[in-house]
Amino acid sequence: MNTKGYCNIPSELFYYITFLSRALPPRSTKTFIELLVGSLLTQSGFVTSSIWILDMANQWFSYHKWLEKGQWSYLILMRQWTALFLKLFPDKQVYLAIDDSIVLRNSKKAPMSKIHHQHGSKTNQPEYVRGQCWVALAAIVERAKSNTALPLLFRLTPQAGNTGKLVIARTLIRAVLQQFKEKSVTVLVDSWYMRRSFIQPIQAYNMTIIGQVRIDTALYKRPRQRKGPGRRRKYGTKYTKTEMKRLPKHQETLKLYGREQQVNYRTAVAKARFLDGQLVRFVWCEFEDSKGKKRPRLLLSTDTELTGLEIIKAYEKRWAIEPMFNQMKNAWGMKEAWQQTRQVLHRWVHIIALAYVLPQLLAIKCSDKVVHLMDDTPWQKHKPTTAGRIRLGLLKYFSHVRIRDWWDGKSRKFQPPDTDILRQFEAIL
């Protein structure tokens, strides 16, 4: 790599890697940086692919041994990434999304591999498949009037036992709870996680939950108490479809799920029976599809002060986690990530997640500084800056370079040799 190429790499990338590296022991830092940058440059999820794309200083078994027996914690590493996220996005309101996805596996020897129900009803796939189910916690950020999901934590569902996806979702929230205690957090989930065993523990952390529920969910008006003896009434009249149609109707034209569409909705505060009579705000909304058919949906929010329109716009942010799963599995190699044990697989998948995060941060925070990285794709110069295009640009500068020599153990900085491009970040570091 020539010296002239240094100036074309945004200095923010070196700052991000330096910040993340400080969560690891000094002996593990150089190996971590090599695997992180290697995962960033390759589309394959194999460890050997990440090794061969750089000029590695050690033999291949050294990196596999570090993943298996190295004295470091992926949880501490991802908490360091969460701290970086909070520095880069200091907004008071934070949106977190929880969802799960299945990585298909043929082998029964794969860690936590079992038969899952394919509830997505995907084309040319059976109803039941063998694979690994990952539950993910992601932070949603807005960029260019669209939303991007940045993964914070992943966890595999166990092969046996009573630890289901609801328990794992609560565990992921608890893992980063202290870092978000000064923020106003809204957790966005789909209908699978809208259960009392998940909602009420998360509410105890002073977080708001917004999610979609079944359209036949039992909702009741607040009761009118009668005078005289007897037990006080807990529920009033039930909200049936007929009762909901009597509510005031609102119409809005919004850009939701990638296109503009007309939304008809009705909203009110009600008591949810599955939450033991807790007051919630529901939004009965109808979206017109491409054929003009109206599909009803029922959204619930534990914050009754929100308006119906705010709930619809907030829940739309959850959709960003779907393309995140798609890109991580197909473009960043998560579907090819293979290790012998559950612990080592967790370590490697979280390194892949950080490799996915870095170009996303460059696209969001410094899109004006990555112009030179787009020179190799001139036919797409009028299209938005994406993480994939940034990766192609970085491949030109990092490919077959001895990245290990770029780490200064004395100053604990990652930067090109014979330069000091991180001087502007010294106060932050």
Q: Residue 109's pLDDT is what?
A: 85
Same domain, 164 and 264: no
Domain of residue 268 covers 213-222+234-310
Q: Count H helices and E strands in the chain, helices first.
A: 12, 13
**pLDDT computed for residue 426 by the predictor:** 59
Q: What is the pLDDT of residues 322-335, one digit of tens each?
A: 999 999 999 998 99
Domain match, 287 and 353 both? no
Instruction: Please tell me the distance from the alpha carbon of residue 349 to that of residue 309, in angstroms, as a whole number.
Output: 37
pLDDT given for residue 428 in this prediction: 60
Distance in angstroms (rounded) separating the CA atoms of residues 177 and 185: 10
Whether 206 is covered by a domain: the verdict is: yes
| One domain for residues 96 and 203 | yes
Please indicate whether residue 53 or residue 150 has the higher confidence score (pLDDT). 150
Q: Residue 161: is its pLDDT beyond 70?
A: no
Put residue 300 in one of left, alpha, beta given phi > 0 → left and psi -120 to 50 → alpha.
Answer: beta
| pLDDT, tens only, 77-86 | 999 999 999 9
**Count of domains observed in the chain:** 3
- 212-239 pLDDT tens trace: 999 999 999 998 877 777 778 889 999 9
- What confidence score (pLDDT) does residue 427 get? 59
**Residues 116 and 100: beta-carbon distance below 8 Å:** no
Answer whether residue 227 is part of any domain: no
Q: What is the pLDDT of residue 121?
A: 67
Segment 244-262, tens digit of pLDDT: 889 999 988 888 877 788 8
CA angle 278, 283, 286 (to 5 degrees): 150
Determine, yes or no, domain membership for 316.
Answer: no
User: Do residue 151 and residue 183 come from a single domain?
Assistant: yes
Q: Are strands 413-414 and 184-189 parallel, antiparallel or unpaired?
A: unpaired
What percent of the chain stands above pLDDT 70?
93
Tell me, yes or no, whether 287 and 218 share the same domain. Answer: yes
**Residue 425 backbone zone (phi > 0: left; psi -120 to 50: alpha; other: beta):** alpha
- The residue out of 296, 326, 356 marking a domain boundary is 326
Length of the chain: 429
The stretch 312-321 carries a mean pLDDT of 93
CB 295 within 8 A of CB 236: no
Q: Using one digit for the tens of pLDDT, what is the confidence trace for 96-138?
A: 999 999 998 888 888 888 888 877 666 777 888 899 999 999 9
Distance CA 353, CA 35 (A): 12
Q: Which of 158-162, 278-282, 362-366 has the lowest mean pLDDT?
A: 158-162
Q: Are 264 and 283 in contact (CB under 8 A)?
A: no
pLDDT at residue 256 in the model: 80
Q: Is there a domain that residue 315 lies in?
A: no
The neighbouring-strand residues paired with 212 are: 299
Has residue 288 got a pLDDT over 80? Answer: no
Inform me whether the pLDDT recorded for 291 exceeds 60.
yes
Per-residue pLDDT, averaged over 27-54, amounts to: 91
| Residues 271 and 289 grouped into a single domain | yes
Q: What is the pLDDT of residues 9-23, one digit of tens each?
A: 888 999 999 999 999
Distance of CA 7 to the CA centre of its chain: 31
Q: How confident is the model at residue 152 (pLDDT cuts 50, 70, 90)?
A: very high
Rounded (to 5) percent helix, strand, coil in the chain = 40, 25, 35
Confidence of residue 2 (pLDDT cuts 50, 70, 90): very low
